[in-house]
Structure 1
Amino acid sequence: MSRSNVTSNYTVLPTHQTKPTTRHPLIPPYPHDYKFILNEPDKCKPEAPFLVLLVTGNSNDYQARHAVRSTWGNESTVPGVSVIRLFLTGIAPRVTDRVQKMLEEESATFHDIIQQDFLDTYNNLTLKTLMGMEWVAKHCPNASYVMKIDIDMFLNVDFLVRNLLMPGIQVRRNYMSGNIVRNAKPQRNIGYKYYAPKEVYPRNEYPPYCSGSSVLSGDLAKKIYDVAQTMQLINMEDCFTGLCMEALKLNLTIPPKGVFNGHHIEYDRCRFSSLITMHQYSPQRLMEIWPDFQSRNVSECGTS
């Protein structure tokens, strides 16, 4: 796809321009002075981590967060490598007070939840992603890498770190990789989940983007957050991240074939040993398969 100047294809607002007084309901308000309700500003102290896991889910995903903490989100899962975990949440749109109280208690126990004062809805996923980029930019700017991942996925952190990111080599810059989608077209049918009318996204094709999860260099988080301040948001967060990369005139890095998967793959211990992400894993299923995955024998699977 042509990497033409994004200003000729997509709305980029000068920082001095007044925001429109009306907007399409699918366009989240941004830039906006969202406030952190729950925050962990010292999570990266005293030493910057090698990898920050930003896990996106809903504020009431208690079981899913427990499962992630107990499995692939365990911060000690890769010996000798500093990994930190954060769950990204907004404000529950229903039974708000009860959910918020439970979330605050959970935060006080685990210190791994960040939350801003926007509603926790599907159409605000872009706000949630940008909250994660803002947090890295402001509180963990020297992190080597950042992984954004949905809470219902399986992540092989050890393979990601040792075989893709490789702590022994120089940290990449302007790097983003994942399950790359190309030539995707906006869904114009109002009955679909990914509906994007021309008022929201006028172009006929999205730029390349990473679907479901992405790994990026720490320096890129601030660049994405900064360029987003000049752009009109869309409600598909992965597509919007692709638009940010286009605005920055940066290309996605093609990963080794098949290691990032945005679909479900039935669990197999040896097969999973050489994959990074798989989709649609419930908390119960994660807890079931994790002990077996941890017991894998290297020589049996023929992987390092």
Structure 2
Amino acid sequence: MLMTKLQNLPTVVLFCSIFLFLLFAKNKWESLETLFSPHNLKVKGGPDFAYKSAIGFEWECAIERTKETKPSGLISPPPPVAKRHPLEVVYSTEYNFLLNEPKKCWERSPFLILLVITEPQNFATRQAIRQTWGNESSVPGVSILHLFLTGVHPKFGYLLQALLEEESSIHRDIIQQDFLDTYNNLTLKTLMGMEWISKFCPNATYVVKADSDIFLNVNYMVSHLLQPHLPPKKNYMTGYIYWKTKPVREKAYKWYVPREVYPNETYPPYCAGPGYVFSGDLAKKIYQVAKTIKVINMEDVFMGICLHELGISVTNSPSGLFKTFHAKYEKCKLSKVVVVHPLVVPEKLLQIWPGFRDQNQTCKS
């Protein structure tokens, strides 16, 4: 009922409600931290590692999380790995689904699945996407399914879980496993999506992996790139392709990848992470090969590594369809691209969408 009431509130009120909730949660947490600090408990160590790390990438926190600590009951303990570097992602088939939609494909085989990467607390972002480019009825005659992929918030996991479950019960579009939702674990989110398709929707024709801060032109992508009237592509992945890029070896950057995690001097070709498209048959192949190789903390690069291991090449897309730089909103320019990153925040997306979909405003071809 809480999420139902929140949906009926204006956007500004919704943001204020969520802000106040998180502020209250933060204060409660800080009081608990004081109560259960190492000084008060007089024990060596500190609070549960699931709640020590801040949102995003921090090298020191990554190191701290490798120390022996008692894992949270909401999170599966990672399997033991001898002499593991703190930035080496632990990929385990033992992660459990906390939220799942296993029946989504029982009565249909979607032409397109949108796997949207999101953080647990981003309620407003998910709602904006549902009302705009994530709308499953946006392309007439084409079966589209959207799913939001998320993990467990590093600090407010328990407090946010009830809200997530309420949101899930309303929209039935959230997939969650019990790993920490951090920048370093983005690879786990995408692999969770590959696992979900492999197990619950293996007949999907195409899949898009999308970040939640992109502008996705689903209609143009379907009509000009995927073309439902043609035979489905196999072993296909396309997007904005990076060639012969080198790992970042400086610790100051969030893209830092140490030699212990990835020793080679260059990466295989890969599609930029904000948004890329692949054929449904690749999901199971990537999910299976990921179990056999070392997982790295760069999600999009790791997809390229998986393709390299499989002997599959990325496919060039028509020039300009995938843009990885900020662009000012102009309807006619955006009408002929697939992905723009980043473009808008949720409020702006809701404002521009009606005009973007307005059929009365035509553009010169």
TM-score normalised according to structure 2 size: 0.76
Q: Which residue of 2 aligns with 1:294?
A: 357
Provide the rounded CA distance (Å) in 2 between the counterparts of 1:163 and 1:102. 39
Secondary structure, in 3 states, of the residue corresponding to 2:239?
strand
Residue among 123, 127, 133 paired with 2:188: 127
> In the alignment, is residue 282 of structure 1 matched against residue 345 of structure 2?
yes
Unaligned segments of structure 1, at least 5 residues: 1-17
Provide the rounded CA distance (Å) in 1 between the counterparts of 2:275 and 2:307. 15
> In the alignment, is residue 178 of structure 1 matched against residue 277 of structure 2?
no
Tell me if structure 2 keeps the 8 A contact 1:210–1:242.
Answer: yes
> In the alignment, is residue 66 of structure 1 matched against residue 66 of structure 2?
no
Secondary structure, in 3 states, of the residue corresponding to 1:49?
coil
**How far is the alpha carbon of 1:168 from its aligned partner?**
0.4
**How far is the alpha carbon of 1:98 from its aligned partner?**
1.6
Residue among 146, 150, 169 paired with 1:108: 169
Provide the rounded CA distance (Å) in 2 between the counterparts of 1:67 and 1:20. 40
Deviations 1:193-212 (A, max 9, x none): 10011011101111111112
Q: Which residue of 2 aligns with 1:87?
A: 148
Q: Which amino acid aligns with 2:234?
A: R
Structure ranking higher on relative contact order (CA contacts 8 Å, 6+ apart): 1
Give the number of the structure whose alpha-carbon radius of gyration is greater: 2
**How far is the alpha carbon of 1:302 from its aligned partner?**
3.1
Provide the rounded CA distance (Å) in 2 between the counterparts of 1:258 and 1:19. 45
Provide the rounded CA distance (Å) in 1 between the counterparts of 2:255 and 2:245. 11
Q: Which residue of 2 aligns with 1:14?
A: none
> In the alignment, is residue 219 of structure 1 matched against residue 281 of structure 2?
yes
RMSD: 1.3
Q: Which residue of 2 aligns with 1:141?
A: 202
Residue among 80, 87, 107 paired with 1:26: 87
Provide the rounded CA distance (Å) in 2 between the counterparts of 1:83 and 1:30. 29
Deviations 1:81-103 (A, max 9, x none): 00000000000111221211111
Secondary structure, in 3 states, of the residue corresponding to 2:333?
helix
Secondary structure, in 3 states, of the residue corresponding to 1:26?
coil
Provide the rounded CA distance (Å) in 2 between the counterparts of 1:61 and 1:199. 33
Tell me if structure 2 keeps the 8 A contact 1:269–1:296.
Answer: no
- In the TM superposition, what are the counterparts of 1:170-249 in structure 2 within 5 Å? 170-211=231-272, 212-249=274-311
Provide the rounded CA distance (Å) in 2 between the counterparts of 1:118 and 1:19. 15
Moved over 4 A (4+): none
Q: Which amino acid aligns with 1:278?
A: V
For residues 135 and 217 of structure 1, do their structure 2 counterparts lie closer, same or farther at Cα, with a shift above 3 Å needed?
Answer: same
Q: Which amino acid aligns with 2:185?
A: N
Tell me if structure 2 keeps the 8 A contact 1:270–1:296.
Answer: no
Secondary structure, in 3 states, of the residue corresponding to 2:187?
helix
Percent identity over paired residues:
52
Provide the rounded CA distance (Å) in 2 between the counterparts of 1:278 and 1:137. 28
- Greater CA drift, 129-138 or 31-40: 31-40
Deviations 1:231-282 (A, max 9, x none): 1100000000000000001111100000011221111111111000011221
Provide the rounded CA distance (Å) in 1 between the counterparts of 2:198 and 2:299. 18
Secondary structure, in 3 states, of the residue corresponding to 2:303?
helix
Q: Which amino acid aligns with 1:293?
A: F
Secondary structure, in 3 states, of the residue corresponding to 2:148?
strand
Provide the rounded CA distance (Å) in 1 between the counterparts of 2:132 and 2:326. 18
Between the two proteins, the alignment pairs up a number of residues equal to 285
Secondary structure, in 3 states, of the residue corresponding to 1:220?
helix
Deviations 1:18-51 (A, max 9, x none): 9742311111112341111100001112010000
Between Structure 1 and Structure 2, the one with more helix by share is: 2
**How far is the alpha carbon of 1:217 from its aligned partner?**
0.4
Residue among 99, 124, 136 paired with 1:38: 99
Q: Which amino acid aligns with 2:329?
A: Y
Unaligned segments of structure 2, at least 5 residues: 1-78
Q: Which residue of 2 aligns with 1:273?
A: 335
